[in-house]
Amino acid sequence: EDRVLLITGASSGIGRVTARRAAEAGFKVILTARRKELLDELVEELGSDKALSVSADVSDYKSLEQAVVKGVDKFGKLDAVFANAGTGLNKAGTEQGDPEEWKAMIDVNVNGLLYTARLTLPHLRQTTGHFLMTGSAAGRNTIKGSVYGASKWFVHGFSQNLAEEMKEWNGRCTTIAPGMVNTPFFDEPKPDKLDPEDVADAVLYALNAHPRSCVREVYLMPAYKN
Ligand code: NJP
């Protein structure tokens, strides 16, 4: 039976490429993000028997709840979730940063992750499922004054605690921690950094590990110096 994977932030970058790769590997995919037209394009490419697009803002609990309900209605279950939506590389530092920008970013990177977990874990428990999330090298190292980095430290901390919680029912929890990836996250292309395909490789590796084996974290850095 095909496994069902829900992905947040599936309209672009890492989420989009991972969705395509997972569908090729036989997963049914539920694609969520705010930009519905981009999700619809991907569903057209993958086939509506394999993919569903549902627009949702992860920082809006109700909108995400509706997306999860629609996805489970269509495919009947959830085997895995990739909580990948994220925003904002705040380079201004703490002293010059804009508190409103921080609030919006934390709403996505922190609250959006918690909402995704809260809404999907009851389904994952039914299938002894797998929860994956996109952390960051910025959540493993210190970056001077970066509030973005701090939001990703939250992801890694939450992941540790969630893994313990999920162990009670043999669920698996994985954090993917990439360095710089060439995606629309940046205004300028970064062709010498990681490719989203590299991150998708890591996600698929964790998803396809034997059920007795939990890939807790994949820390992925660009190999080239510059
Ligand atoms: O970036 P991008 P990436 N509600 O901008 C979605 C982390 N990361 O693929 O809503 C719902 O191409 C947005 O969808 P839309 C990073 O922190 C990256 O690089 O349509 N979705 C889009 O699909 C993030 O967690 C690098 O605008 C929301 C996606 O998020 C993850 O990787 C390094 C949303 C962003 O796609 C994917 O980022 C690293 C909302 N409110 C970690 N806000 C890197 N690129 O170097 C945004 O260590 N999205």
CA of 212 to the centre of ligand 1 (A): 30
Q: Looking at residues 74-83, what average pLDDT do you find?
A: 98
* 2 CB burial (10 A radius; 0-12, 13-18, 19+): middle
pLDDT score recorded for residue 145? 77
Ligand 1 atom closest to Cα of residue 136: 48
pLDDT at position 144 over 90: no
State whether residue 33 is helix, strand or coil: strand
Give the ranges where the chain is alpha helix by DSSP (H): 13-24, 36-46, 61-75, 93-96, 99-106, 113-127, 147-167, 196-208
Q: Quickly tell me which residue has 């969520």 as its tokens.
A: 32
CA of 107 to the centre of ligand 1 (A): 13
pLDDT score recorded for residue 90? 67
pLDDT score recorded for residue 116? 99
Q: Catalytic site residues? A: 148
pLDDT score recorded for residue 226? 66
Tell me the fold of 4-220.
Rossmann fold (3.40.50)
pLDDT score recorded for residue 91? 67
CA of 62 to the centre of ligand 1 (A): 20
CA 78 to chain centre: 15
Distances (CA, A) of 15 to 23, 47, 149, 181, 206: 12, 17, 20, 12, 15
pLDDT at position 149 over 80: yes
Domain map of the chain by residue range? 4-220
CA-nearest residue for atom 4, ligand 1, is: 57
pLDDT at position 148 over 80: yes
Please enumerate in sequence order all residues whose Cβ is within 8 A of that of 210, keeping only pairs 6 or more positions apart, or say none.
none
Predicted confidence (pLDDT) per residue in 120-135, tens digit: 999 999 999 999 999 9
Please enumerate in sequence order all residues whose Cβ is within 8 A of that of 11, keeping only pairs 6 or more positions apart, or say none.
31, 33, 34, 35, 38, 39, 42
Ligand 1 neighbours, Cβ below 6 Å, are 8-15, 33-35, 57-59, 84-87, 108, 134, 136-138, 178, 180-181, 183-185
CA nearest neighbour of 43 among 71, 83, 72, 81: 71
Predicted confidence (pLDDT) per residue in 20-71, tens digit: 999 999 999 999 999 999 999 999 999 999 999 999 999 999 999 999 999 9
pLDDT score recorded for residue 225? 81
Question: How much is the ipTM here?
Answer: 0.99
pLDDT score recorded for residue 159? 98
Q: Among 20, 58, 87, which is best to mutate for testing ligand 1, by the most ligand atoms less than 8 A from CB?
A: 87
